[in-house]
Amino acid sequence: NAGVTQTPKFRILKIGQSMTLQCTQDMNHNYMYWYRQDPGMGLKLIYYSVGAGITDKGEVPNGYNVSRSTTEDFPLRLELAAPSQTSVYFCASSQKTGLGSGEQFFGPGTRLTVL
Amino acid sequence: GENVEQHPSTLSVQEGDSAVIKCTYSDSASNYFPWYKQELGKRPQLIIDIRSNVGEKKDQRIAVTLNKTAKHFSLHITETQPEDSAVYFCAASSRAGGNQFYFGTGTSLTVIP
Protein backbone atom coordinates (compact mmCIF):
# COMPACT_ATOMS: atom_id res chain seq x y z
CA ASN A 1 0.00 0.00 0.00
CA ALA A 2 1.19 3.52 -0.78
CA GLY A 3 -0.73 4.87 2.24
CA VAL A 4 -1.57 8.57 1.96
CA THR A 5 -0.12 10.40 -1.03
CA GLN A 6 -0.16 14.13 -1.74
CA THR A 7 0.67 16.19 -4.78
CA PRO A 8 2.41 18.49 -5.40
CA LYS A 9 5.31 18.41 -2.93
CA PHE A 10 6.09 22.10 -3.40
CA ARG A 11 4.28 25.00 -5.01
CA ILE A 12 4.73 28.74 -5.29
CA LEU A 13 1.61 30.79 -6.01
CA LYS A 14 1.08 34.43 -6.71
CA ILE A 15 -1.48 36.36 -4.67
CA GLY A 16 -4.95 35.80 -6.10
CA GLN A 17 -4.14 32.56 -7.90
CA SER A 18 -6.02 29.33 -7.21
CA MET A 19 -4.89 25.75 -6.91
CA THR A 20 -5.97 22.30 -5.78
CA LEU A 21 -3.92 20.15 -3.44
CA GLN A 22 -4.50 16.48 -4.15
CA CYS A 23 -4.76 13.76 -1.50
CA THR A 24 -5.35 10.06 -2.07
CA GLN A 25 -5.39 7.12 0.34
CA ASP A 26 -5.48 3.44 -0.57
CA MET A 27 -6.36 2.03 2.86
CA ASN A 28 -10.15 2.33 2.42
CA HIS A 29 -10.31 4.66 5.43
CA ASN A 30 -13.58 6.38 6.23
CA TYR A 31 -12.09 9.53 7.75
CA MET A 32 -9.90 12.05 5.97
CA TYR A 33 -8.46 15.35 7.20
CA TRP A 34 -6.64 18.42 5.97
CA TYR A 35 -4.28 20.29 8.30
CA ARG A 36 -1.98 23.23 7.94
CA GLN A 37 1.22 23.60 9.91
CA ASP A 38 2.83 27.00 10.17
CA PRO A 39 6.55 27.18 11.05
CA GLY A 40 7.24 26.10 14.63
CA MET A 41 3.58 25.50 15.30
CA GLY A 42 1.19 22.61 15.75
CA LEU A 43 -1.37 21.30 13.29
CA LYS A 44 -4.58 23.17 12.68
CA LEU A 45 -7.55 21.34 11.16
CA ILE A 46 -8.92 22.97 8.01
CA TYR A 47 -11.61 20.50 6.89
CA TYR A 48 -12.42 16.88 7.52
CA SER A 49 -14.67 14.17 6.12
CA VAL A 50 -16.23 11.13 7.77
CA GLY A 51 -17.14 9.50 4.46
CA ALA A 52 -17.79 10.07 0.78
CA GLY A 53 -20.18 12.96 0.25
CA ILE A 54 -19.75 14.34 3.78
CA THR A 55 -17.43 17.20 4.72
CA ASP A 56 -17.22 19.50 7.74
CA LYS A 57 -15.29 22.61 8.69
CA GLY A 58 -12.44 22.43 11.15
CA GLU A 59 -10.76 25.23 13.11
CA VAL A 60 -9.45 27.29 10.16
CA PRO A 61 -11.64 26.74 7.05
CA ASN A 62 -11.70 30.30 5.65
CA GLY A 63 -10.20 30.56 2.19
CA TYR A 64 -10.44 26.82 1.50
CA ASN A 65 -12.92 24.35 0.06
CA VAL A 66 -13.02 20.56 -0.11
CA SER A 67 -14.99 17.78 -1.73
CA ARG A 68 -15.17 14.04 -1.10
CA SER A 69 -16.74 12.32 -4.08
CA THR A 70 -14.93 9.02 -3.46
CA THR A 71 -13.55 7.20 -0.43
CA GLU A 72 -10.01 7.51 -1.77
CA ASP A 73 -9.73 11.18 -2.72
CA PHE A 74 -10.03 14.37 -0.68
CA PRO A 75 -8.80 17.42 -2.64
CA LEU A 76 -8.32 20.82 -0.99
CA ARG A 77 -9.05 23.88 -3.08
CA LEU A 78 -7.49 27.30 -2.43
CA GLU A 79 -9.30 30.18 -4.08
CA LEU A 80 -7.68 33.63 -4.29
CA ALA A 81 -4.43 32.68 -2.54
CA ALA A 82 -3.15 35.06 0.15
CA PRO A 83 0.27 35.28 1.86
CA SER A 84 -1.40 34.08 5.09
CA GLN A 85 -1.93 30.72 3.39
CA THR A 86 1.81 30.11 3.16
CA SER A 87 2.21 26.91 5.14
CA VAL A 88 2.82 23.18 4.98
CA TYR A 89 -0.36 21.25 4.28
CA PHE A 90 -0.82 17.70 5.51
CA CYS A 91 -3.55 15.31 4.51
CA ALA A 92 -4.36 12.42 6.85
CA SER A 93 -6.72 9.48 7.01
CA SER A 94 -7.97 7.13 9.69
CA GLN A 95 -10.30 4.20 9.98
CA LYS A 96 -13.61 4.31 11.78
CA THR A 97 -13.70 2.07 14.84
CA GLY A 98 -16.36 1.24 17.38
CA LEU A 99 -14.81 3.79 19.72
CA GLY A 100 -14.36 6.59 17.20
CA SER A 101 -11.29 7.19 15.11
CA GLY A 102 -8.32 4.89 14.87
CA GLU A 103 -4.71 5.82 14.15
CA GLN A 104 -4.19 8.73 11.79
CA PHE A 105 -1.83 8.23 8.87
CA PHE A 106 -0.30 11.36 7.38
CA GLY A 107 0.76 12.15 3.85
CA PRO A 108 4.22 13.62 3.12
CA GLY A 109 2.92 17.19 3.00
CA THR A 110 2.74 20.01 0.46
CA ARG A 111 4.88 23.08 1.08
CA LEU A 112 3.00 26.11 -0.30
CA THR A 113 4.38 29.62 -0.61
CA VAL A 114 2.18 32.55 -1.65
CA LEU A 115 4.06 35.61 -2.87
CA GLY B 1 -14.58 22.75 21.00
CA GLU B 2 -11.66 20.90 22.53
CA ASN B 3 -8.57 22.78 23.76
CA VAL B 4 -5.30 20.90 24.14
CA GLU B 5 -2.37 22.52 25.94
CA GLN B 6 1.13 21.04 25.88
CA HIS B 7 4.18 21.73 28.09
CA PRO B 8 7.04 22.33 27.92
CA SER B 9 7.58 23.88 24.50
CA THR B 10 11.27 22.95 24.57
CA LEU B 11 13.10 20.27 26.52
CA SER B 12 16.77 19.36 26.64
CA VAL B 13 17.99 16.20 28.36
CA GLN B 14 21.27 14.33 28.59
CA GLU B 15 21.46 11.05 26.72
CA GLY B 16 20.24 8.25 28.96
CA ASP B 17 18.00 10.51 31.07
CA SER B 18 14.21 10.46 30.96
CA ALA B 19 11.96 13.01 29.28
CA VAL B 20 8.38 13.83 30.24
CA ILE B 21 5.93 15.88 28.19
CA LYS B 22 2.51 16.81 29.56
CA CYS B 23 -0.79 17.69 27.91
CA THR B 24 -4.14 18.80 29.27
CA TYR B 25 -7.48 18.73 27.49
CA SER B 26 -10.80 20.40 28.15
CA ASP B 27 -13.49 18.15 26.65
CA SER B 28 -14.47 15.27 28.91
CA ALA B 29 -15.89 13.47 25.85
CA SER B 30 -12.39 13.04 24.36
CA ASN B 31 -11.54 9.36 24.38
CA TYR B 32 -8.50 8.89 22.15
CA PHE B 33 -5.09 10.43 22.84
CA PRO B 34 -2.28 9.85 20.35
CA TRP B 35 1.30 11.10 20.48
CA TYR B 36 3.23 11.95 17.33
CA LYS B 37 6.91 12.44 16.60
CA GLN B 38 7.85 14.81 13.81
CA GLU B 39 11.39 15.09 12.52
CA LEU B 40 12.45 18.19 10.63
CA GLY B 41 10.81 18.35 7.22
CA LYS B 42 8.95 15.08 7.72
CA ARG B 43 5.37 14.08 8.36
CA PRO B 44 4.08 13.36 11.91
CA GLN B 45 4.38 9.71 12.85
CA LEU B 46 2.36 8.01 15.56
CA ILE B 47 4.56 6.68 18.36
CA ILE B 48 1.99 5.64 20.94
CA ASP B 49 -1.68 6.18 21.71
CA ILE B 50 -4.10 5.52 24.52
CA ARG B 51 -7.86 5.27 24.85
CA SER B 52 -9.86 6.56 27.77
CA ASN B 53 -10.61 3.09 29.10
CA VAL B 54 -6.92 2.56 29.86
CA GLY B 55 -4.77 4.41 32.40
CA GLU B 56 -1.32 3.55 31.10
CA LYS B 57 0.31 2.03 28.04
CA LYS B 58 3.92 1.16 27.43
CA ASP B 59 5.94 0.29 24.33
CA GLN B 60 9.62 -0.38 25.05
CA ARG B 61 11.14 2.98 26.11
CA ILE B 62 7.94 4.96 25.56
CA ALA B 63 4.93 5.13 27.87
CA VAL B 64 1.79 7.22 28.08
CA THR B 65 -0.32 7.81 31.19
CA LEU B 66 -3.84 9.19 31.29
CA ASN B 67 -5.70 10.81 34.18
CA LYS B 68 -9.31 11.25 33.05
CA THR B 69 -10.38 12.97 36.25
CA ALA B 70 -7.74 15.68 35.92
CA LYS B 71 -7.98 15.66 32.11
CA HIS B 72 -4.28 15.28 31.50
CA PHE B 73 -2.01 12.78 29.82
CA SER B 74 1.75 12.49 29.64
CA LEU B 75 4.44 11.00 27.43
CA HIS B 76 7.41 9.39 29.13
CA ILE B 77 10.58 8.49 27.25
CA THR B 78 13.21 6.59 29.21
CA GLU B 79 16.88 6.02 28.38
CA THR B 80 16.77 8.79 25.79
CA GLN B 81 18.96 8.56 22.70
CA PRO B 82 20.08 11.26 20.23
CA GLU B 83 17.65 9.86 17.65
CA ASP B 84 14.80 10.75 20.00
CA SER B 85 15.49 14.41 19.20
CA ALA B 86 12.40 15.73 17.36
CA VAL B 87 9.19 17.65 17.92
CA TYR B 88 6.49 15.74 19.78
CA PHE B 89 2.79 16.53 19.53
CA CYS B 90 -0.08 15.31 21.65
CA ALA B 91 -3.65 15.23 20.37
CA ALA B 92 -7.17 14.47 21.56
CA SER B 93 -10.16 13.17 19.68
CA SER B 94 -13.72 12.16 20.45
CA ARG B 95 -16.52 10.50 18.55
CA ALA B 96 -18.88 13.08 20.03
CA GLY B 97 -16.68 15.77 18.51
CA GLY B 98 -17.05 14.36 15.02
CA ASN B 99 -13.75 12.48 15.29
CA GLN B 100 -11.79 15.68 14.84
CA PHE B 101 -8.27 15.73 16.21
CA TYR B 102 -7.07 18.68 18.29
CA PHE B 103 -3.31 19.04 18.57
CA GLY B 104 -1.07 20.56 21.18
CA THR B 105 1.50 23.14 20.09
CA GLY B 106 4.41 20.72 20.25
CA THR B 107 7.53 20.08 22.35
CA SER B 108 10.96 20.32 20.78
CA LEU B 109 13.07 17.63 22.46
CA THR B 110 16.84 17.74 22.21
CA VAL B 111 18.87 14.81 23.53
CA ILE B 112 22.46 15.87 24.22
CA PRO B 113 25.04 13.12 23.60
User: Which residues from chain A sit within 8 angstroms of residue B46, using beta carbons?
Assistant: 103-104
The pLDDT value recorded for residue B97 is: 64
Would you call B106 an interface residue with chain A, using a CB distance cutoff of 8 Å? yes
Of B43, B99, B106, the CB nearest to A100: B99
Contact A101 B51 (CB under 8 A): no
Predicted local confidence at residue B53, as pLDDT: 85
pLDDT for A4 equals 96
Which residues 4-63 of chain B have a CB within 8 Å of chain A? 6, 31-32, 34, 42-46, 49, 51
Q: How far is B41 from chain A (nearest CA, A)?
A: 9
Please give the Cα distance from B6 to B25 (Å, whole number): 9
Q: Look at residue A83 and give its three-state secondary structure.
A: helix
The pLDDT tens digits for B53-110 are: 889 999 999 999 999 999 999 999 999 999 999 999 999 988 766 678 899 999 999 9
**Residue A110: closest C-alpha in chain B:** B43
Cα distances (angstroms) measured from residue B71 to each of B25, B54, B56, B75: 6, 13, 14, 14
pLDDT band per the 50, 70, 90 thresholds, residue B2: confident
The tens place of each residue's pLDDT in chain A, 115 residues long, gives 789 999 999 999 999 999 999 999 999 999 999 999 998 888 999 999 999 999 999 989 999 999 999 999 999 999 899 999 999 999 999 987 766 667 899 999 999 999 9
pLDDT range class, residue B19, cuts 50, 70, 90: very high
Phi then psi for residue B88, to 5 deg, are -115, 135
